[in-house]
Amino acid sequence: MSERAHAILSASGSHIWLNCTKSGELSMHPDAPQRRGSVYAAEGTAAHDLAETCLREDKDADLYIGLDFQGFKVTPEMADAVQVYLDHCRSLPAISFYIEQNITLAKLWERDGLKCPTPLFGTSDFLALNAETLFVTDYKHGVGVPVEAVGNTQFLYYGLGGLFHILERGFQLPKQVTMTVVQPRAPHKDGPVRSWTIPTIDLFVWADTVLMPAVMSVIAGDTTYQTGQHCRWCPHAGQCPALRKQALTVARTQFDDVTATPPSPNLIPLEELGAILEQAELISGWVSQVRAVVSEAIEKGHKIDGWKLVPKRATRKWVDEEAVSTIIEANHILTDSFYTPPQIKSPAQVEAILKRDKRTLSDIGLDQFITAESSGTTLAPDADSRPAAATGPQTTFEDVDL
């Protein structure tokens, strides 16, 4: 498997350092905090490895169920998600393709005889090319935040790198670049595969007018903090004076006395709550970063007044399932109640199995037994790409013509 290296001014962090060049400048320091990994990110890396293996070996993802990738067992859910990405990559009208391709943007400077002032590189999940189009496809395994293709600077970064990559291999520049995100596990109104196509020339204009000036600002030691939604992902958020100032300003506008108990939300007029929640999102992101910095400091042995680390709630599990089975049988216990019976696979898994025989759910009449049910609703800002759920009186009195 390919080991993924990340530039300090990375593609995935570009929405942060392009919006706030101070963040990029802070990341240049040798002891700068890194963006934190999580179990979800590690699972995403495992899913990427599975996808890479499937593409290189030309196999479907469900053949690897139960196998270990980067410490994660491939589950049917992971296989289903990765298969959506594989199907998309394999459907592209390509004359040439590259899997997990290392890309660099150094040529942006080298074309003018200059040296790239800082390494700008990354790994593009999948590049495919024909005479008209360079296809840049990125797999996202995350469930939390649906990623937009349109306007996504990570994809612009990979797109540029992809163009330099194919130029080096003697191909002509294509007319356009299609950037696609495949994110099967996060619901989005446009479905799991979303694309954005722009003329190739626009990508170079963006490089000249946005990316290169931002890189030069970072290198010049720009000191302008620019707070915004991107701060939520910034590795410097926990120590950022601009974000701290903004959080305190917001808190002071909501509470005259910051030591007092906050007013009950039930007593705040409904028309004010939206604005409060918007500001609270920024503060809660900052508080999460502060928590992470404090936890890390305590882990490293530092003393933080008033705080300590405690074990999370433990869940019990069998250490030897074979021995447990023996004891159950020896005690003549009704064994059925001690076992989870086999369950029928999910519609997506059954669909994948049928696909191998070139059949569909409807071919054998299974589609009529499928229903899609959301487990509830969750609060999201208006800008969120998911359609709003039906709420209010309509949901209670469906037959009433309101």
> In whole angstroms, how close is the CB of 226 to ligand SF4 at the nearest point?
6
The answer to whether 7 and 120 are in contact (CB under 8 A) is: yes
| CB-based burial label for 250 (10 Å; 0-12, 13-18, 19+) | middle
Q: Which is nearer to ligand SF4, 11 or 234 (CB)?
A: 234
Number of H helices, E strands in the chain: 13, 7
What does the alpha-carbon distance between residue 59 and residue 61 come to, in Å, rounded to a whole number?
Answer: 7
> In whole angstroms, how close is the CB of 19 to ligand SF4 at the nearest point?
7
| Cα 229–Cα 78–Cα 138 angle in degrees, nearest 5 | 50
> In whole angstroms, how close is the CB of 242 to ligand SF4 at the nearest point?
4
> In whole angstroms, how close is the CB of 227 to ligand SF4 at the nearest point?
4
Q: Which is nearer to ligand SF4, 26 or 120 (CB)?
A: 26
Q: Which is nearer to ligand SF4, 6 or 185 (CB)?
A: 6
Q: Which is nearer to ligand SF4, 102 or 226 (CB)?
A: 226
Q: Which is nearer to ligand SF4, 134 or 231 (CB)?
A: 231
Q: Which is nearer to ligand SF4, 284 or 346 (CB)?
A: 284
Q: Which is nearer to ligand SF4, 22 or 88 (CB)?
A: 22
Q: Which is nearer to ligand SF4, 146 or 235 (CB)?
A: 235
CA end-to-end span of the chain, whole Å?
58
Assigned token pair, 224: 């302008």
> In whole angstroms, how close is the CB of 126 to ligand SF4 at the nearest point?
30
The phi, psi pair for 123, rounded to 5°, reads: -125, 120
> In whole angstroms, how close is the CB of 35 to ligand SF4 at the nearest point?
11
CA-wise closest residue to 206 among 165, 238, 136, 159: 159
What does the alpha-carbon distance between residue 80 and residue 60 come to, in Å, rounded to a whole number?
Answer: 10
Burial 53-89 (b: 16+ CB within 10 A, else e): bbbeeeebbbebbeeebeebebebebbbbbbbbbebb
> In whole angstroms, how close is the CB of 279 to ligand SF4 at the nearest point?
15
Q: How far is CA 217 from the centre of its chain?
A: 27
The phi, psi pair for 44, rounded to 5°, reads: -65, -40
> In whole angstroms, how close is the CB of 142 to ligand SF4 at the nearest point?
20
What does the alpha-carbon distance between residue 126 and residue 159 come to, in Å, rounded to a whole number?
Answer: 11
Q: Which is nearer to ligand SF4, 25 or 49 (CB)?
A: 25
Q: Which is nearer to ligand SF4, 160 or 237 (CB)?
A: 237
The answer to whether 241 and 248 are in contact (CB under 8 A) is: no
Which residues form the interface with ligand SF4 (CB under 6 A)? 16, 20, 22-23, 26, 225-227, 230-231, 234, 236-237, 240, 242-243
Question: DSSP assignment, residue 338?
Answer: G
> In whole angstroms, how close is the CB of 361 to ligand SF4 at the nearest point?
46
The answer to whether 292 and 35 are in contact (CB under 8 A) is: no
Rg (CA), the chain: 25
> In whole angstroms, how close is the CB of 229 to ligand SF4 at the nearest point?
9
Contacts of 16 (CB under 8 A, 6+ apart): 23, 24, 230, 231, 233, 234
